[in-house]
Structure 1
Amino acid sequence: MALPLRQSGTLTLPGNSYCFDYESLDAGRGLFFIARLGAGQVIEVDVRANRVVRVIDGLPGVHGVMVIPARNRVYATATDANQVVAIDETTGTVLHRSPTGDYPDGLAYDPVHGTMWTTNESGSSETVVDAATGAVRGTVALGGEGGNVVYDPVGRRMLVGAQTRNELAVIDPAALQITRRVPLAGCDHDHGVALAPADRLAFVACDGNARLLTPDLTTWCITGTDRVGNDPDVLAYDTAAHRLYAAAESGWVTIGDSGRRQLTIAGRARLADGAHVVAVDPTTHSSYCPVPHGPGGRPALLTYLPTP
């Protein structure tokens, strides 16, 4: 089932073929940040000029990365050091490092309380850090290994995959307490999580059985279950186009459209080796996928545009 995409650009990235993990785009400035975990680096790319701006070192085992344009900061999880690191977006300077639990992975930002949330995967918890100062504000125990965490701007709550419980945990970010556990029937090991806030839908990638579940954020019922590539990981949602991208460790990408509050699969195909990370620009609808072996065997950032 062909992907509704056409390749629109390729940028060779520095270094060797270390694995890439999460990535984050500042669409307003056209700055793109990619976690290169094997090298402990974040690569900053100007996607408008199609050039590498800088490489930020000193982030051992980096997994998660998230840019917060309103704060002019980039946050990254230095997984091997059990830290979340704040970086100046303009200069690439490290501003502060905050302790987390074991194996920090994904990140989410709560703009109401001004906090960064870090999922401690093997630590089975969330660490909540003041986004301005780096002070740790608290910890939320999940009762099992943590998957990704996201902020729901409509419900003003955090949602996190409790992956060894096959549940979605709903957290009150003011009280730092779990208020609901949503069973994910048909899911084995929920890791990736993304939201369609206006459509009141969540998307959950189950890496144990290559399934994508669509819970309704109003009723908490599962409205759909779809097949994706083996070992699904990173999800990205284009809010303007109502389109979901699901990338998998196996190199397969699945694309779905969420019109009428129901996800419909528009394409599913193998993109490239190591293509398990995807990000999307909701203004241009470009999608970005870093791969360890691009043209000539060099690491590359592949850019795609949707086809009609």
Structure 2
Amino acid sequence: MKNLLFVVPLALGLSGGTQAQTAPAAKLPYHLLHTIAVGGEGGWDYLTVDPAGERLYLSHGTQVEVVDLKTRKVIGTIPNTPGVHGIDVVPGANRGYITCGRNNTCVMFDLKTLKAIGAPIPTGPKPDALLYDAFSNRVFLFSNDGGKSTVLNATTGAVEGTAELGGDIEAPATDGKGHLFANVEDKSEVIEFDAKTLAVHLRHKLAPGEAPTGLGYDPQHNRLFSACHNEKLVVTDSKTGQQIAVLPIGAGVDGAVFDPSTQNIVTSNGSGTFTVIHQDSPTNYTVVANVPTAKGAKTIALNPKSHHLFTCTADYGPTPAATAENPRPRPSIVPGTFRVLEFGQ
């Protein structure tokens, strides 16, 4: 982005009676507080804050980096996680879980030692996002190919079932009362299913939103915030399926969070911005700003204690030539430049 702040036009297709507007230019709601050098090689996906342990877990190539949020230093690495995507922790059980998309497994690890526990757990194809649900004491591993979710006992890691969700699943959320939500990327839907029976109860279409990835959730007002790849954020009533608003966001989105303390929805856009949208009321939303981050900073995590936002990126080198095996190559990543960006108000 050339400008630090720009006002974007409203997306069309808002539900009748719903108001959404763009705020006038003002002071940016978030600014860069710290850059945490991590280094190493490889790409990245999800990052996860553990507020109880004051740690940040980063997917990075074939391993997970662990950052102490008090010192902002890397304090450990969990290796042998090929194609790592998601990480979540179960503090009460001293367990963590990691999805490995390259070999269709999940690694369970000890939060204190960071050592793997037992053999990798087989999953459905292309395990990607995952979620610990305290209500059911289960960990849900979501496949981004084929619509399956492998369900684990959060304490033991034992497989307790498979949810058939009917599409390629992206980011999930929970209401803490037995209802789980997830974006269905290939069908442009957001669904609700039961954390215990695993039955899908509701399917909500997201059109004009397409290919949803990041998902934020406001349990107080039953609002789902689906960040879509065609640069739209779709707000849905989780109870009725009514589409409340459609708002413009930046390009290359992959993550979204909702902070109840600020009533802000923030999407992380790989083009190099956070789009910040304020929930003025459950039916009124304002695009506040597009905050500069960095190219490739596509995922996001919120620390619910400090209300800081985290994203990660690295420097890019040349793009390799296209081949028959890789017709759309990505730019190369400069070794040693992987880093975390921490933002606050």
What's the TM-score once normalised by structure 1's chain length? 0.91
How far the C-alpha of 1:11 sits from its partner, in A, is 1.5
Aligned partner of residue 220 in structure 2, secondary structure: helix
Aligned pair 1:219/2:240, yes or no?
yes
Amino acid at match of 1:19: G
Q: Residue 184 in 1 paired to residue 206 in 2?
A: yes
CA distance, structure 1, for counterparts of residue 179 and residue 128 of structure 2? 19
8 Å contact kept, 1:98–1:129: no
Counterpart residue identity of residue 118, structure 1: L
| Structure 1 residue 40: Cα displacement | 0.9
Q: How do 1:149-164 residues align onto structure 2 when only pairs under 5 Å count?
A: 149-154=172-177, 156-164=178-186
**How far apart are the structure 2 equivalents of 1:34 and 1:84?**
15
What is residue 188 of structure 2 aligned with on the other side? 166
| Displacement of 1:22 | 0.5
Identify which of 210, 217, 240 aligns with 1:195.
217
- Quick check: which one's strand share is greater? 1
Asked if residue 108 in structure 1 is aligned to residue 147 in structure 2, the reply is: no
What residue is the counterpart of 1:302 in the other structure?
A: 341
Mapping for residues 1-308 of structure 1, pairs under 5 Å: 1=5, 3-16=28-41, 18-36=42-60, 39-96=61-118, 97-154=120-177, 156-207=178-229, 209-261=230-282, 262-293=284-315, 298-306=337-345
Q: Is the 8 A contact 2:78 2:114 kept in 1?
A: yes
Q: Does the aligned pair in 2 maintain the 1:25–1:67 contact within 8 Å?
A: no
CA distance in 2, matches of 1:286, 1:201: 22
| Matched AA of 1:140 | A
Q: Give aligned-pair identity as a percent.
A: 27
Q: Is the contact made by 2:276 and 2:291 (CA closer than 8 Å) also made in structure 1?
A: no
- Structure showing greater radius of gyration is 2
Find the aligned partners of 1:70 and 1:194 in 2 and give their Cα distance.
24
CA contact (8 A) 2:39 2:336 kept: no
Q: Tell me, what secondary structure is at the counterpart of 2:135?
A: coil
The whole-number CA distance in structure 2 between the counterparts of 1:53 and 1:257 is 35
Q: Write the letter of the residue equivalent to 1:206.
A: C
Q: In structure 2, how many angstroms separate the alpha carbons of the residues matched to 1:162 and 1:280?
A: 22
More helix by share: 1
Write out per-residue CA displacement over residues 119-160 of structure 1, whole angstroms, 9 at most, x where no aligned residue. Answer: 101132111111122221111222222222221224x21111
- Number of matched pairs: 301
Amino acid at match of 2:279: S
> Aligned-pair distance for 1:174?
1.7
| Gapped regions of structure 2 (runs ≥ 5) | 7-27, 317-333
2:38–2:336 contact (8 Å) kept in structure 1 = no
C-alpha RMSD of matched pairs (Å): 2.0
**Cα distance change of structure 1 residues 239 and 85 upon mapping to structure 2, 3 Å threshold:** farther
What is the distance in 1 between the residues matched to 2:285 and 2:62?
Answer: 36
